[in-house]
Amino acid sequence: MTVPSISRRTLMKGAALLLASTSLSRHALAQTAAAGGRLIVAADSEPKNLNPAIVASNGVFFIASKVIEPLAEASFDGKDGLAPRLATSWEGSADGLSVTFKLRDGVTWHDGKPFTSLDVAFSALNIWKPLQNLGRLVFANLEAVDTPDDYTAVFRFSKPTPFQLIRNALPVVTSVVAKHIFDGSDIATNPANNTLVGTGPFKFAEYKPGEYYRLTRNENYWGEDQPKLDEIVFRVLPDRASAGAALEADEIQLAAFSAVPLADLDRISKVDGIKVISKGYEALTYQLVVEINHRRKELADLRVRQAIAQAIDKKFVVDTIFLGYAAASTGPVPKNAPEFYTSDVANYDFNPAAANDILDKAGYKQGADGNRFKLKLRPAPYFNETRQFGDYLRQALAVIGIDAEIVNADAAAHQKAVYTEHDFDLGVGPPVFRGDPAISTTILVQSGTPDGVPFSNQGGYVNPELDKIIHQASETVDTAARTDLYRKFQQLVAADLPLINVAEWGFITVARDTVLNVSDNPRWAVSNWGDTALQS
């Protein structure tokens, strides 16, 4: 099924429109309707590093994917759900030890130099494998990239690496950067990480902190009749609620990633000239999870984890916190990933009476104040939904005699407390499913992750059987066998509850109806927008 799309920071009330406070001239804004046109888009954040080859995240992709291209992009109708970008084809060997990419001829970097296989080899070996947050998992066993000619790159692995994983990961982990710009430098601190030079349909033009990013048309783009737009301006609107007002005033034309508050969607959908679109996020499913610190004696007890699961009313969460724009989860793989998903897992239905009975029988008796024990609860600060769910979870736990103290913090402090210092009992996290369980999903429950890695198993959970399945899947080249292993993975996670999956959701795009070709692939917001156009 397709998960309904909803907001990341919804239910926030409106704030003053920030557009007038920026220095982009009125004359420039007036040119929106010029030939080709300027598309003005709401952006809620300013990434510290804009290089998607290093930081594979939606906040970075949102801007950088128009400039820096991957080997392939997600597609609704392409073979294996992919559309060629810098690679025109890809083929894995039967033994899982190599993948051959045929590359696109006639592509140039924005500085005029030719794109070749040497750029792919450099990006893979010097950035994706050692530096990228996700690539270091996908390419852990990559040992060499052969370049027999300018338009062939052969990836060679020291251990069997599933082609299914490589194929599924292509849109996310294979952003290619120019060797001639990064070679011989400290890649992590190279200024080109924030003044991007790519092969995409748009060139990076300027960035004014707190105001906007501006991209301009690449006249030499390889895509036929692309790009359609002359410019894209990402207007920095950190108070996301202002995006709706800006759209209604026609001062921006598009707000992706649910920048318009969920509570405003019904009203704004009725405004003449505005369309609300839930399509285009199918490959970007966010998951609401309860993270658990298994170092805490009570939480290391499966009976306690089962009781907590039964204390959570998932229907209430979906209907009240997400206003119906979500789906209840059954486990670590979302329903809209049919390649891997199975519903054949243990279920812990909402039943506070049963939860109380489990805790009583387990010996966790209620004291005079009605409490069995206290926990420290840290909701992630990124989205309004995670904060709201934290408040709900505190109340739900109180019903079964668990006193949860909420500790709120900003993003940096939250990540340090949970993922480095382990200063939590329960956390509320929003990991992303990126098309394959090996990409930012298995890491949530696999043991041995170093301290400090965000969105990983920092709760100290260890399950040798689960670790074995994860390891087997990482080297199983047979697609059917690998898929079966991940179904067993889901069954183990749902039964043993190293974490508790509560809900899964996508996002919503709101745009003026003059914006054409919106949401035409499953990662549209973080794709290149080469065919996006403005109606004249």
| pLDDT value at residue 258 | 86
| pLDDT value at residue 33 | 36
Domain of 455: which CATH number? 3.10.105.10
End position of a domain, from candidates 182, 210, 228: 182
251/292 same-domain check: no
| pLDDT value at residue 80 | 87
| pLDDT value at residue 452 | 87
Instruction: Please name the amino acid found at residue 520.
Output: D
361/322 same-domain check: yes
What global pTM score does this model have?
A: 0.84
501/423 same-domain check: yes
248/295 same-domain check: no
| pLDDT value at residue 44 | 86
136/177 same-domain check: yes
Residue range(s) defining the domain that contains residue 321: 285-505
103/208 same-domain check: no
193 falls within a domain: no
Measured distance CA(453)–CA(110) in Å, rounded: 34
Instruction: Please name the amino acid found at residue 139.
Output: F
What are the respective helix, strand and coil percentages of the chain, to the nearest 5?
A: 30, 20, 50
256/366 same-domain check: no
266 falls within a domain: yes
163 falls within a domain: yes
> Phi-psi category of 42—alpha, beta or left, where left has phi over 0 and alpha has psi -120 to 50?
beta
What string of DSSP letters covers 385-433?
HHHHHHHHHHHHHHHTTEEEEE----HHHHHIIIIIS---SEEEE--EE
pLDDT tens across the length of the chain (536 residues): 333 333 333 222 222 222 333 334 433 433 343 359 999 999 988 998 999 999 998 999 999 999 999 999 999 998 889 999 999 999 999 999 999 999 999 999 999 999 999 999 999 999 999 999 889 889 999 999 999 999 999 999 999 999 999 999 999 999 999 999 999 999 999 999 999 999 999 999 999 999 999 999 999 999 999 999 999 999 999 877 789 999 999 999 999 988 888 888 889 999 999 999 989 998 999 999 999 999 999 999 999 999 999 999 999 999 999 989 899 999 999 998 999 999 999 999 999 999 999 999 999 999 999 999 999 999 999 888 899 999 999 999 999 999 999 999 998 899 999 999 999 999 999 999 988 999 989 999 999 988 988 889 999 999 999 999 999 999 999 999 999 999 999 999 999 999 999 999 988 999 999 999 999 999 999 999 999 999 97
372/455 same-domain check: yes
208/300 same-domain check: no
365 falls within a domain: yes
445/466 same-domain check: yes
What does each C-alpha distance from 311 to 180, 511, 512 come to in angstroms? 56, 39, 42
End position of a domain, from candidates 148, 182, 216: 182
- The most distant pair of C-alpha atoms in the chain lies apart, rounded to whole Å, by 76
Whether the upstream peptide bond of residue 114 has omega within 30° of 0, thus cis, is no
The two structure tokens encoding residue 453: 């890695």
345/254 same-domain check: no
Measured distance CA(115)–CA(125) in Å, rounded: 17
188 falls within a domain: no
| pLDDT value at residue 14 | 26
497/513 same-domain check: no
End position of a domain, from candidates 147, 182, 217: 182
The structural domain count of the chain equals 3
Domain of 32: which CATH number? 3.40.190.10
11 falls within a domain: no
